Chain A
């Protein structure tokens, strides 16, 4: 293997050393439980509040609107189940899309079994939700709209502000899963007008297993985890202080030079997309050409299958991911790729390469050098490619 380059930042990011350094004392030196009254406990409470302030600041939220969770999935579960059960008297209808993260989709499916009604909106070929479709789907009994901010697979960024406006006009609570967008977009919850927002630390160079739910003041929501009085009695369980401290630091760092970060990622992303599409025929870009996450490259290479592509890339040290069924362990390729109307065979041949802070131009050049011959090798092996070679396509 020549070298190792990581292109799976959408899956997780490496923790920054500054984040790790900030966390370390809270494992064994300043280890107090924030619920304890003694000085160790008070110390824990103090750092908890500081971290909360840091996260709140990045979203233009108030500190008391940030609730720490065990990650993005828990935040999504809490937002959706919490609003559903708290507003049951008002109605039982929820609106979402067909291309949500499983943390949202599976939660909605669970609620359907509990008697709730869910509308799963279609998206267009780029993965965009039509705001009019959202408006038209709202009924008298609609209590919640939950729509992903930026899709984790194809990177498409939704018109969140417009959807929030529609929800507000109709008196419906609006939640957005912003796990992928956080740290890659400038987010202002007040300007956007959302009621709830899920975010996660390990997508912004922080630790795994810690996230947060923004809950706008006055939003009617039940708690998901019962027990002690932590998180203002709304989320029980002793706080993961090292993780929360890390999240606070990572959030702060993510938004220090956010514009530079975004500009760098867009430059590398567009270089990769343009050069790969130019070098490799029968390639399509999945997701929106411009309204997409700055670090997201999602391409489908016709006539080949994603897992064999990933394995071949891994052999030359390139780590990516695919929406192919063979990597997901399910019967069908990714619901997102099917949701934007791809045929099964094209969806099977998808490759997601996501760029982050530690990606260099040389890394991108390395992919541009190594990927085309790999695609060609697999195509030469593919019976589907014969027709193209014979000029029959």
Chain B
């Protein structure tokens, strides 16, 4: 299994690691049983994500996708951030090994989970969150069998 240089760069030098005190939006997905937990903190000012931090328990790919996702949503509006897809995160990292695509799904879900909580507290409705449940098991750990 080979990681791209970008994955390794974001793993070794992750951007936006940490917490934001009094963040407007905080979301967490995954569980320790599966070996991946991502927690996102968003600072939202006037519907714009002005700052974003993350914490991740997981493999190299989980850390790299978290890092890349934070970079991709910083400065965007909430609605724009909700359009972030796992595929876009993976492409921005020059691809992920097939067994690691679940990490990019988790990164997308972590952003959505934070915004879901933000919307819930403020009674906001985003159609992009229709049917989204942050507590759902996202089937993010289907590694398959290596040859």
Contact = CB atoms under 8 A, between A and B. Distances in A.
Interface of A: 303-305, 307-308, 311-312, 315, 324-326, 328-331, 333, 343-345, 348, 380-384, 386
Given A325-B35, A380-B17, A384-B37, A303 B145 contact: no
B70 interface: no
Given A325-B141, A331-B143, A311 B11 contact: yes
Contacts of A324: 35, 59
Contacts of B8: 311
Contacts of A343: 32
A312 to B, nearest CB: 8
Given A308-B63, A311-B11, A329-B99, A382 B143 contact: no
Given A307-B59, A325-B34, 11 more contacts: A305-B58, A308-B58, A308-B62, A325-B35, A326-B59, A329-B143, A329-B144, A329-B146, A345-B57, A381-B63, A386-B55
B35 A348 contact: yes
Interface of B: 3, 8, 11-12, 14, 17, 19, 28, 32-39, 55-63, 99, 141-146
A256 to B, nearest CB: 38
27 contacts: A305-B58, A305-B59, A307-B60, A308-B62, A308-B63, A311-B3, A324-B59, A325-B141, A325-B143, A326-B35, A326-B58, A326-B59, A326-B143, A328-B146, A329-B99, A330-B143, A333-B35, A344-B32, A344-B33, A345-B33, A348-B32, A348-B35, A380-B17, A381-B56, A383-B28, A383-B37, A383-B38
B17 A308 contact: no
A311 B60 contact: yes
Chain A interface main SS type: helix
Nearest to B35: A348
Contact of B35 (A311, A344, A380): A344
A382 B35 contact: no
Nearest to B146: A329
Chain B interface main SS type: mixed
Contacts of A326: 35, 58-59, 61, 143
Nearest to A322: B59
B142 to A, nearest CB: 8
A171 to B, nearest CB: 38
Contacts of B38: 383
B125 to A, nearest CB: 28
A383 B55 contact: yes
A333 B35 CA distance: 9
Contacts of B17: 380-381
Contacts of B62: 305, 308
A325 B33 CA distance: 10
A343 B145 CA distance: 22
A312 B59 CA distance: 11
